[in-house]
Amino acid sequence: MATDVLTVRQVSKTFLPNIIALESASLNVRAGEVHCLLGANGAGKSTLLKIIAGAFRPTDGTLLLDGEPVELHSPAQAARLGISMIYQELDLVPQLTVEQNLFLGHAPGRFGLINHGERREKAAAALKRVGAHFKPDARVETLSVANQQLTAIARSLTMDAKIIIMDEPSASLNETELESVFKVIRELVRQGVAILYVSHRLGELREIGDRVTVLRGGRTIETFDVKSTGDGALVEAIIGKQRSLIERKTREPVTGDVALRVNRLRGPEGLDISGLDVRWGEVVGLTGLNGSGRTSFLKSLFGANRFDGDIKLEGKPFHPRHPAHAIRSGIGLVPENRKTEGLILHAPIYKNATLPSMRESWLTRHSRQKQKTAPVLKSLSTKYGRPEQAVVQLSGGNQQKVVLAKWIINGARVLLLDEPSRGLDIGAKADLYNLVDRLAREGAAVIVASSELDELYAACDTIWVFHEGRNIGKYDPSVADRDTILRATILGENHVQH
C-alpha cells in the first residue's frame, strides 16, 4: 500500500465577513498516484489548491506532509517542502531561457554567482525526466504551449517536488499535446511523485486519474476510485440535489419575431456556433464551462472580435466590424468584467452612463446628460448619491446597473450580458434578473451568459449549452431537467430537444 504524501484534514476557509469557501474539506494524496479534483465553478477547488500551495492559510484544520503536520506560510516555503504548484497561466518568464526558468530563485552557486556548468547539468537531467526534446538554452517564448507545460513540470522536479499540483493543464493544450503531457505524468508517477490534477473534463480524468475527489459547495463529497466509478455517479456528486436559490420567473410564452439570427458564426479559439436565434421579448441563456466560448461569442456579436459568419438582425445581414457599428444597430454589451471593460471607474456616474450616446452632438451638455441619466438609473432602482459621484464608489450591483443604463439610454434593443451577476451578492443578483425580466417584457431581446446555471434556469426562456466553442444543446427550462443540462455542460453530450 502506498503511503500518503499529503493529507488534508478537515480544512476550512472563511473569507471575511462571512463567505465560507471551504468547509471541513478532507482528502489524501498517495505517493505515485494521480489524484484528480473535480467540482463545478465555485465549488472551492482553487481555494483548496491555494491552501495546499501555501498561498492561503486555512481558517481551521490541518495539513499533513508525509504524516507530519505542517503549517505553510508562503508558496516559497511550500515549494521547499516539496509541494509544487503549476498554475493554469504558467508562471514562467517568457524572455528567459528554459534553464534560467528552471532554476529561477534557486540557482546552484554561491555568493550570488551562478554555477553555470552545474545548472546546465541539472537542467538537462530534469528535462530528460520529462522527456523534453528541446534544449535548455531555448527561450521559453519560442516553445509551444505543451513544451512550456513540460518546462513548468521540469521546474517542479528541480525543486525536488514530492507532489505536483496541476491546475487545468488541458485548458490551453490540443489533444496530441495533452497526450505528451500525460505521458510525462505517467512516468513521474511511476517514479513515485504524486500528482494532484484539477480539471472539469471527465474524459481526461478517465485517461490519467487513479482516484478522484469531488468538491461541491466547499465540501469534499467523496473520493472515488476512477476505474470502478461510472460517469453518472461522478456527475451526481458534482451536481448534488441542491435546488436553485433564485425563484423561477413566470414568463409568458415569447411571441415576438426573431430579432437576431445566428446561422453561422466562426470566431477565435475554435468558436463555431450555428442555428442560434433570439426573439424580441425573449431571454436566451448561454451556459457552459470556462472556455466554452460564451464570451467570444458575445464579443463577436458586438463587433469586438473578428469573425466569419452569417448573422441576420431583423432579417437583414449583419456583420459588425467595430463596437460602434453594433451600437448603432441597437446592440449593447455588458462585458464580463465591469471594472476593466465596462466602466471608467474614477469618472462620474452620469458620464459613464452617457458615454455611448454622446456622439449625437459636438458639445457636451452636462445638465442634459444628468437629466437623461437620472430617470434610467431610477427605473433600475440604482442607489447612488449624486450623478457627479465617481462610479468606483458604488457597490458592485449598482455599478452593473450603470453599465446597463449605458445601453438603455442609448436605446439598445438587443442586450448581451456576459456574466452580469459576477461578484454580486444574492440580493443584488435577484435584483439584476428582475431587471432582465422587465427589459424583456418591454420588448428587448436579451442574451445572458453565465456559468451559474441556477440563475439562467430562473430567468431564461431558452438555455443553450456551449461546449468547447460549439452550441451543443438547446433546452426549455420550463420542461427540461436541470440535471440534464448540467450533465450536458460537463460531459459535452448532445441532447437537443424539440
Partner 1 sequence: MSNTETAVPPADTPAFGKRLVDLAIEYNFIVIFLAVVVIATSLSSNFLTFTNIANLFQQAAVVGVVAIGMTFVILTGNIDLSVGSVVALCGMLVAVLMSHGFDPFVAVAITALVGTACGAGMGAISALAQVPSFIVTLAGLVSFRGITYLMTDGVPVSGLPQGFASISSTMIPLLPGFSLSSMGLIFIVLCIVAGLVLRFTVFGEYVFATGGNPEAARLSGLPTRFMITAVFAVSGFMAALGGILLTSRLRIGQPTAAQGLELDAIAAVVLGGTSLFGGRGGVLGTFFAVMLLQVLRNIFNLLGLGSFYQMTVTGIIIVAAILLNRFIDHRKGRG
Of positions 162, 406, 413, 467, contacts partner 1 by CB under 8 A: 406
| 430 sits near partner 1 (criterion: CB under 8 A) | yes
Of positions 209, 218, 356, 477, contacts partner 1 by CB under 8 A: 356
Query: For residues 136 and 397, which CB has a smaller minimum distance to partner 1 in the complex?
Result: 397
320 touches 366 (CB < 8 A): no
Report 244-303 residues binding partner 1 (CB under 8 A). Answer: 302
CA atoms of 142 and 148, how far apart (whole Å)? 9
Query: For residues 73 and 438, which CB has a smaller minimum distance to partner 1 in the complex?
Result: 438
CA atoms of 234 and 244, how far apart (whole Å)? 20
Of 278, 274, 269, give the one whose Cα is nearest residue 299.
Answer: 269
Q: Phi, psi at residue 183, to the nearest 5°?
A: -60, -45
Query: For residues 229 and 410, which CB has a smaller minimum distance to partner 1 in the complex?
Result: 410
Q: Is 80 helix (H, G, I), strand (E, B) or coil?
A: helix
Residue 495: other Cβ atoms inside 10 A: 15
Report 312-331 residues binding partner 1 (CB under 8 A). Answer: 322-324, 326-328
Of 401, 341, 346, 333, give the one whose Cα is nearest residue 373.
Answer: 401
Of positions 344, 378, 443, 481, contacts partner 1 by CB under 8 A: 344
| 361 sits near partner 1 (criterion: CB under 8 A) | yes
CA atoms of 110 and 107, how far apart (whole Å)? 9
CB of 25 to partner 1, least distance (A): 27
CB of 430 to partner 1, least distance (A): 7
Of positions 395, 454, 493, 495, contacts partner 1 by CB under 8 A: 395
CA atoms of 108 and 114, how far apart (whole Å)? 6
Q: Is 260 helix (H, G, I), strand (E, B) or coil?
A: strand
CA atoms of 237 and 49, how far apart (whole Å)? 19
CA atoms of 489 and 474, how far apart (whole Å)? 11
CB of 342 to partner 1, least distance (A): 6
Of 182, 184, 186, give the one whose Cα is nearest residue 174.
Answer: 182
168 touches 88 (CB < 8 A): yes
264: which 3 cell numbers?
453561422
| 18 sits near partner 1 (criterion: CB under 8 A) | no
Of 253, 246, 234, give the one whose Cα is nearest residue 483.
Answer: 234
Which one of the spans 11-19, 103-111, 137-145, 387-395 is the region binding partner 1 (CB under 8 A)? 387-395
Of positions 209, 397, 477, 492, contacts partner 1 by CB under 8 A: 397
Which one of the spans 46-54, 257-265, 273-281, 353-361 is the region binding partner 1 (CB under 8 A)? 353-361
CB of 431 to partner 1, least distance (A): 4
Query: For residues 335 and 492, which CB has a smaller minimum distance to partner 1 in the complex?
Result: 335
CB of 406 to partner 1, least distance (A): 7
User: Under rule CB under 8 A, how many of the chain's residues touch partner 1?
Assistant: 49
| 447 sits near partner 1 (criterion: CB under 8 A) | no
Of 434, 470, 463, 469, give the one whose Cα is nearest residue 448.
Answer: 463
| 441 sits near partner 1 (criterion: CB under 8 A) | no
Amino acid at 378: K
Q: Is 44 helix (H, G, I), strand (E, B) or coil?
A: coil
| 144 sits near partner 1 (criterion: CB under 8 A) | no
Query: For residues 272 and 341, which CB has a smaller minimum distance to partner 1 in the complex?
Result: 341
Of positions 110, 243, 386, 498, contacts partner 1 by CB under 8 A: 386
In the complex, which residues of this chain contact partner 1 (CB under 8 A)?
A: 302, 304, 322-324, 326-328, 333, 335, 340-347, 351, 355-356, 358-359, 361-364, 381, 383-386, 389-390, 392-398, 406, 425-428, 430-431, 434
